[in-house]
Structure 1
Amino acid sequence: MAAFARRKAQRLARPDASRKRSLDARAAGLARLLNARERFCTASSCDGRVLVADTDGSGIQKKNCRWLLVTHDPCAKGDVMTALEKATGDVVFKFEPFVLHVLCRELQDAQLLAVRSTHCLEVPLSHKGRLLVSEEYIEFLVQVANQKMEENIRRIERFQKGLELALEAAVPTDTLAPEGPEKSHSVYVHRRKRRTTREQADPSGELEPQDDTESSLDLFAEIMI
C-alpha cells in the first residue's frame, strides 16, 4: 500500500508528457475524481478526437506520423480538405473515443473500472499524397465522425455519473472492522438498497437497464463493452 502511494505521488508530480501538455477539459473531472481516492492514479487520458494523420506508409502510425488536423470538437469538411493539402504520404482520417488509463492499487479496484468500448473510426484517404476518395465521401465521413463525437460526449457524462455512484456504493472492507481472519483481505461490498426497493415494487424483477442505477453500476465490474 505504501509502495502504491509513493508511485502515485511520483507520477502525479511529473510534467504532462502529452503534446498538449495539459488535461483535456472533459477528462479533467474524472481525473480529479479518481486521484482523490488513494486506490487510484490516472496515467493518461484523451477526451476523444477527430484526427487526420499523414504517415510514411510503414504501418507504424505512432512512430512515423505527422498530424495534419486534430480537434476534440466536431469538425467541418473544409478543415479536412485544408489538412489534405499538406499531405505527402498515406493519410488516414480517424475518430478516437474517450480513453482513460488508470493505475489501481489492487485487482478489485481495477475490476470496478473494467470498461472497454469499440466506438471508433479509421479510414484511409490518400496514398503517397494522392487522394483516393471524393469530397462527397469526405463530407460523409465528417458527418459520421461528428455523430460519434456527440455520442462520445454523452458517454463521458454517463460514465462519470455512474463512476461517482459506483465509488460511493463500493466500500473497501479494510475500512471496516474485520469479522475474522477470512475477512482480512480487501474486497468490495456493494450496497443494493435501490435494487431491493425496486424489486419489492416490481415482483417480476424486470427492470429497464437505463432506469436501474445499480444495474448500470454492474457494468464497471462485469461487462466489457
Structure 2
Amino acid sequence: MAAFGRWKAQRLARADASRKGALDERAAPVVRLLNARARFCTTSSCAGRLVLEDAERRGAPKKGCEWLLVTHEPCRRDELMTALEKATGDVVFKFEPFVLHVLCRELQDAQLLHSVAIDSGFKNSGITVGRGGKIMMAVRSTHCLEVPLSHMGKLMVSEEYIEFLIHVANRKMEENTKRIDRFTRNRISRRAKEHEDQKAEETPICTKTNLFLYVHMIISAIIHQICDLITFMFSVRLIGS
C-alpha cells in the first residue's frame, strides 16, 4: 500500500514526456477520474490520432521518422494532401486508437478496470505484473489502420484511394471517441456501484451495533428494576420483624 502511494506521488510529479507535452483533451476526463482514486495512477495515454509519418525524412527525430501531420480530430483531404507534398521518403498513413496505461494498487483493482475496458469495446486490454510487484492495466483495442502512401517521396496511390482512406480513418476515429466515452461512463457507473456496495457492507455493522446497544439498555433497565424490587422487599421484611 505504502509503496504504491510513493509510486503514484512520483509519477504524478513528473513532467509530461510525450511529444505533445500535454494531456490529450479527449483523454483528460477519464485520466483525471482515475487519478482521483487512491487505487489507480495513469502512467501514459493517447486519445487516438491520425498520423502521416515519413520514415526516411532527413533531420527526423528519434526512431528515424517525422510526423508530417498529426491530429486527434477527423482529417480533411486538403490538409493530408498538403502534408504529403513535404514527403521525401516512405510515407505511411496511420490511425492509432486510444491507449491508456494504469498502475493499480492491487490485482483486484486491475481486474475491475479490465472488465470495464472490455465491456467498453477495448478488447485487446490486458494486465501485467512487473518487477517490484507493480501491477499495470493497459486499455487498448485493435481497430488500427496503417497504409503506405509513398516511396522515396513518390506517391504510390491515387487521390481517390486517399479520399477512401480518409473516410475509413475518420470512421475509426468516431468509433474511438464513442469507446472512450463509454469507458468513462462505465467507470463512473462502476464507481457508483462500488460506493453502494460499500454502504451495503457497512449497514449491517451499524445495525448490529445499534441492536447491541438497545439490548444492553433493556438488560440494564431490567437489572436495575430487579435490584429496586429486592431492596423494597428487604425493607418490608425488616419493618415486619
TM-score normalised by structure 2 residue count: 0.67
Aligned to 2:84: 84
Question: Following the alignment from structure 2 to structure 1, what is the Cα–Cα distance between the partners of residues 143 and 62?
Answer: 20
Deviations 1:4-39 (A, max 9, x none): 101100110011111111111111111111011111
After superposition, the C-alpha distances for 1:76-114 in whole angstroms (9 at most, x for unaligned) are: 111111111111111110111111111111111111222
Residue 63 of structure 1 pairs with residue 63 of structure 2: yes
Cα distance per residue 1:94-141 (max 9 Å; x no partner): 111111111111111111222332121111111111111000000100
Aligned to 1:33: 33
2:189 equivalent in structure 1 = 165
SS in 2 for 1:56: coil
2:233 corresponds to: none
| Counterpart mapping for 1:1-225 below 5 A | 1-56=1-56, 63-114=63-114, 115=117, 116=124, 117-170=141-194
Q: What is the total number of aligned residue pairs between the two structures?
A: 172
Q: Residue 93 of structure 2: SS of its match in structure 1?
A: strand
Q: For structure 2, list consecutive stretches of 5 or more residues without a partner in the other structure.
A: 118-123, 125-140, 203-241
Q: So what's the TM-score if we normalise by structure 1?
A: 0.72
Structure with larger Rg: 2
Match of 1:213 in 2: none
| Cα displacement (A) at 1:168 | 2.8
3-state SS, counterpart of residue 41 of structure 1: strand
State how far apart, in whole Å, the 1-side matches of 2:6 and 2:151 are: 48
SS at structure 1 position matched to 2:113:
coil
Identity of aligned residues (%): 67
Q: Give distance in 2, aligned partners of 1:91 and 1:62.
A: 16
Name the CA distance, whole Å, in 2 between partners of 1:62 and 1:133.
Answer: 28
Instruction: Specify every segment of 5 or more residues in structure 1 that has no aligned partner in the other structure, as ranges.
Output: 178-225
| Matches of 1:96 and 1:62, distance apart in 2 | 19
